Amino acid sequence: MPLPGTLEAGTITLNEAETRLVKLLLDAAHHIENHPSKEQTPALPQELADSPLELRFTGGWVRDKLLGVESNDIDIAINKMTGYQFGLRLNEYFEIPGNAENHGLVNPNNKKGSFKLVKIEANPEKSKHLETVTVKILGLDLDLVNLRKETYTEESRNPQMEFGTPEEDALRRDATINAMFYNITTSKLEDFTGHGLEDLRKGIIRTPLEPYTTFKDDPLRVLRLIRFSSRFAYDIVPEAQQAMKVPEISEALKIKISKERIWIELEKMVKGPDPEGALRCIDHLGLYPTIFADPSPKPTYKPDTTNWHCVYETMKKIIAKNEKDILVRNIILKSKDDQFMGWLIASMIPWSDSPDAAPTKPGRTPLPMTTTVALTSLKAPNQLTTLLTSCNQNLSEIKDLAYRQEDSRENLGMAIRKWGATWKLQTLFALLHEIYEAPDNSTEIVEQYDKFLSKINTLNLLEAHTFKPLVTGTDLAKAIGAKPGPWMKSALDVIMAWQLRNPDVTNPAEAIAQVSNNEGISKLISGESKDKHVSKKQKKGELCSALITHFLRQTLKPLFSQAKSNPEITAAGRKKIGEPISRKAEFGDEEVTKPWKFKEAWALDMLHWVCKSLDREIVEREWGFLIPPILSVVDDTDVKIRARGCEILRLLLEATPSPLLKRTGLAPLFAESLYISTTYLPSLTPEEDAIIILDAALPALLTLSKTAFPPPPSRTSDEKAYTATTASLTTLLRQAILTPYKHAGEHVLIAETLLNHLPPILDELGIETVRFLKDLVPLLGGVLMDPLGAKFPPLLLVGVKSMQCVVLNAWPRVGIWRSEILRGVCGGWLWVLEEGEGGDLEEIKGELRVLVGLVGKVVKGEEGMDWDGEVGELIEVDGRLEELFEGEVE
């Protein structure tokens, strides 16, 4: 192959941007020399301090230019300044008016002469021994650094750095072909090692100094030389190869070089033009156990690389374009990214037969050794480690299917879906593993896997892992509000298997029509509708109904059957007739008896979705499967779990027909559990937990009351039902609101929570609220008059709104209580005024005005009431009340 003209001549020709850059740098250097900095600079040897400022393009840019390859990345070495010092002076030069314009530098804000310096601190672990500065000028990425020499120790590859001469800087580099400079002052190529240009012409790689010392000082150079060898198809000189094989060098490579840096070099090798050459070199030099090291404290398994060459040689043949048209390449290794992962897979094959590594933590599934080596010894990214885990997990199954002559579209498709998005690379792993075990049969093995892929291709299953089922995982997970997991598989498999058996159905809407008789549900599941508010009374589609049945009977039932069932209910979900059966506390490992609280916690999300999606027909049909899990959750001792149970029970009751609840006799059982939940109060229960359970139990109790005792159209239409409804709501108000409020004490958040749930109960009671004025008016008046009320606006606000609700529902008797109501209102108003201004306080003032307006409206309609006179008297006592009564709100 003829040498590039630049290499043959040993000269470098600059392009336009590089020419402009050289002029710019020389002008800047001249300015810096003639205008020394007043700031303190590092002490330099006198000879270096007296020498002129010199700049050189170094390393890879020089090598690539000689090879005729353009590069936008230029390392610039400075002889007597650090890169950061030079960068600052360079910036200073361009801030001088006219300099930026002369060199065509204008930043995006039209502020001439400035550019961004990025200082990269020394980081030896990432092979950055000295700080550098990066800057972009004229479209070129520049790294500024001083010439240096290095002094190494036995313990570390991190050298002591000092200013050095060009010769010292060249000799410290990894290879002679990377050690040449282009002196921009003289426009000359400088080859201080005396071998750089010659070695580049001959296509050989050698170290500037004696190889053993070079590698002992910095073992990373071993990997860099292998990478350059494969990149340029150059030969590493024998003496360097011999030094690489020395055990001390291998040991130094393990000890001195970070795993992250090894991965970076391996990644560059495999992404280079000849990954097979790089792996062959590693194999030939015996470096496999060093690079792909066993991370175990006491390694017991040694990877066998005897047949490894057959693996990477086969990879090269498969990828080679001059090979026959094989599906393994066309299907598995089409893209550069696929080939990159393929080579990484090939590099891990010698570890594929190793026993699994010990679990990282007790109880965890042990990782395959391929994954462990990649994860620990290479610090490889998750993409590779996850792939390697899947490769090992599915290895036997893939091999079995590849030889079984499977014709079932359903079986092949479901297998591919199980293997996941990386199934093609997993298949490559299986192929390479077979070649590793039987290298003499490599041709037959490749042909067999070609047939396997051909069958998959013929059945149009290459992308089976991406096929969207009738309800995709995302749709289903979003619908039930739970994370994707094993609970989804059986549900999605039913849908997906049907699709695979019926490949002619390609329209999702057509598929949904096969299983759903409700357009609204179908559109919701298929994502075609944004209206997610489906009425409880509306009949659910077949798909929704089927999913509910599947979840209740197949998924949730096994999880909730580990613990003892409630002794007061039958298997059909009915109350047992006879004397109440005492419930005994259950002891044991809850992770076993109640997995839905721990590992299978998604079950609560699923149960919540089921109850949220119920209609009357489904409730009737699935009642026996609904009650056991719901009671298990609502009776749990964990406050947060119990609160979740209350919410789920509320959803069930919303969809439950009143006759069903009456027929099963479970209303008292539900009521008992819910009322117990309202007793979870401080100080036995933390305030935060008490609020959570009250917020769930109180709405559930109200729903239970409305379902168990549905109100008649009017009192006269059904006196008995009206009485029962009123009695139920009375019990709810007294036991769930008034009694807990007495125990709230100084816990204002508990008081606020209880009052938040008061208005809905009063609205259900309606006119019957008058029976509780003697309880409610003093209670709420006390909230309004509390001098600390304005210090906690939320409680004061909910107190005002609750008093409004009392007035609206008990208006016939409000006149009798007007004085106490006004006392509370006026007291609250004055406390708010004294507190000052604020968004919450302004809202409270507005609601107080609404409240006095409501009271005034009621009182003015009563005979013998002098509302205006009473208001005037109040204002006369304290003029600050005038604003309260201005423009009473109706």
Query: CA 823, CA 85: separation in Å to the nearest integer?
Result: 77
Whether the per-residue pLDDT at 176 is higher than 60: the answer is yes
Query: CA 206, CA 241: separation in Å to the nearest integer?
Result: 9
In a domain, 722, yes or no: no
- Assess whether 152 and 296 both reside in one domain: no
Residue 530 pLDDT class (50, 70, 90 cuts) = very low
For 303, the enclosing helix (H) or strand (E) is none
**DSSP-H helix ranges across 130-274:** 166-171, 196-202, 211-217, 220-232, 238-245, 247-256, 259-271
Residues 6+ apart with CB under 8 A from 814: 806, 807, 821, 855, 858, 859
Write down the residue that tokens 């009431």 correspond to. Answer: 865
- The amino acid at residue 141 is D
Residue 179 pLDDT class (50, 70, 90 cuts) = very high
Other CB atoms within a 10 A radius of the CB of residue 514 amount to 14
Joined tokens for residue 395? 């290895």
Q: Which residue has the higher pLDDT, 793 or 471?
A: 793
For the chain, how far is it from start to end, CA to CA, in angstroms?
A: 97
Query: CA 545, CA 550: separation in Å to the nearest integer?
Result: 9
Residue 356 pLDDT class (50, 70, 90 cuts) = confident
**Among 711, 710, 709, 647, residue whose Cα is nearest residue 673:** 647
The pLDDT tens digits for 216-243 are 989 999 999 999 999 999 999 999 999 9
Whether the per-residue pLDDT at 494 is higher than 80: the answer is no
Contact between 201 and 234 (Cβ < 8 Å) = no
Other CB atoms within a 10 A radius of the CB of residue 444 amount to 12
Show the 3-state SS of 808-865: HHCHHHHHHHHHHHHHHHHHHHHHHHHHCCCHHHHHHHHHHHHHHHHHHHHHHCCCCC
Contact between 25 and 55 (Cβ < 8 Å) = yes
Give the strand order in the sheet containing 132-137.
118-120, 132-137, 140-146, 73-78, 55-58, 181-183, 188-190
Give the HSE-up count for residue 312: Cα atoms under 13 Å, Cβ half-sphere.
Answer: 22
Other CB atoms within a 10 A radius of the CB of residue 440 amount to 10
The pLDDT tens digits for 623-640 are 999 999 999 999 999 999
Joined tokens for residue 16? 């336009």
In a domain, 271, yes or no: no
Mean pLDDT, range 350-366, rounded to an integer: 83
| Of the residues 147, 173, 202, the one at which a domain ends | 202
Whether the per-residue pLDDT at 663 is higher than 90: the answer is yes
| Region for residue 420 given its phi and psi (left: phi exceeds 0; alpha: psi -120 to 50; beta: otherwise) | left
| Of the residues 202, 232, 248, the one at which a domain ends | 202
- Assess whether 39 and 170 both reside in one domain: yes
Would you state the pLDDT for residue 121? 54
Where in the sequence is the domain holding 312, given as residue range(s)?
292-466
Residue 733 pLDDT class (50, 70, 90 cuts) = very high
Would you state the pLDDT for residue 524? 42
Residue 361 pLDDT class (50, 70, 90 cuts) = confident
Q: What mean pLDDT value characterizes the chain?
A: 87
Of the ranges 323-337, 379-393, 471-485, which one carries the lowest mean pLDDT score?
471-485
CATH number at residue 191: 3.30.460.10
Mean pLDDT, range 424-436, rounded to an integer: 98
Q: What is the DSSP letter of 575?
A: B
The pLDDT tens digits for 439-457 are 999 999 999 999 999 999 9
Query: CA 59, CA 593: separation in Å to the nearest integer?
Result: 67
Mean pLDDT, range 776-787, rounded to an integer: 93
Would you state the pLDDT for residue 547? 80
Structure-derived torsion over alpha carbons of residues 48, 54, 59, 64, reported in degrees to the nearest 10: -160
Residue 29 pLDDT class (50, 70, 90 cuts) = very high
Would you state the pLDDT for residue 582? 52
Q: What is the DSSP string of 72-126?
A: SEEEEEESSS-HHHHHHHHHHHHTSTTHHHHHT-B-TTS-BT----EEE--BGGG
Write down the residue that tokens 């994954």 correspond to. Answer: 371
The pLDDT tens digits for 474-488 are 767 776 788 888 888
Would you state the pLDDT for residue 161? 72
The pLDDT tens digits for 822-842 are 999 999 999 999 887 777 889
- Assess whether 198 and 296 both reside in one domain: no
In a domain, 667, yes or no: no
- Assess whether 184 and 301 both reside in one domain: no
Show the 3-state SS of 648-670: HHHHHHHHCCHHHHHHHCCHHHH
Q: Which residue has the higher pLDDT, 862 or 698?
A: 698
**Among 682, 600, 609, residue whose Cα is nearest residue 639:** 682
Q: Which residues pair with 112 in a beta bridge?
A: 106
Whether the per-residue pLDDT at 11 is higher than 70: the answer is yes
Residue 150 pLDDT class (50, 70, 90 cuts) = confident
Pairing label, strands 204-205, 235-236: parallel
Would you state the pLDDT for residue 531? 41
Q: Which residues pair with 141 in a beta bridge?
A: 73, 136
Mean pLDDT, range 135-141, rounded to an integer: 91
- Assess whether 196 and 305 both reside in one domain: no
Residue 573 pLDDT class (50, 70, 90 cuts) = confident
In a domain, 711, yes or no: no
Residue 469 pLDDT class (50, 70, 90 cuts) = confident
Mean pLDDT, range 319-331, rounded to an integer: 81
Three-class secondary structure of residue 199 per DSSP: helix
- Assess whether 157 and 20 both reside in one domain: yes
Per cent of the chain over pLDDT 90 is 66
Whether the per-residue pLDDT at 128 is higher than 70: the answer is no
Joined tokens for residue 104? 């065509």
Other CB atoms within a 10 A radius of the CB of residue 535 amount to 8
Specify burial of residue 31 (Cβ count, 10 A radius: 0-12, 13-18, 19+).
Answer: middle
Question: What are the backbone dihedrals phi and psi of residue 878, each rounded to the nearest 5 degrees, phi first?
Answer: -145, 105
- Assess whether 333 and 461 both reside in one domain: yes
- Assess whether 304 and 421 both reside in one domain: yes
The pLDDT tens digits for 744-763 are 888 999 999 999 999 999 99
| Of the residues 155, 180, 202, the one at which a domain ends | 202
Other CB atoms within a 10 A radius of the CB of residue 764 amount to 20
Show the 3-state SS of 436-448: HHCHHHHHHHHHH
In a domain, 568, yes or no: no
Three-class secondary structure of residue 1 per DSSP: coil
Residue 540 pLDDT class (50, 70, 90 cuts) = low
Query: CA 692, CA 643: separation in Å to the nearest integer?
Result: 6
- Assess whether 195 and 338 both reside in one domain: no
Question: What are the backbone dihedrals phi and psi of residue 135, each rounded to the nearest 5 degrees, phi first?
Answer: -155, 150
The pLDDT tens digits for 869-879 are 989 999 999 99
In a domain, 779, yes or no: yes
In a domain, 874, yes or no: yes
Q: Which residues pair with 77 in a beta bridge?
A: 56, 145
Whether the per-residue pLDDT at 554 is higher than 60: the answer is yes
Query: CA 725, CA 743: separation in Å to the nearest integer?
Result: 27
Total domains in the fold of the chain? 3
In a domain, 644, yes or no: no
Query: CA 170, CA 691: separation in Å to the nearest integer?
Result: 72
Query: CA 301, CA 295: separation in Å to the nearest integer?
Result: 11
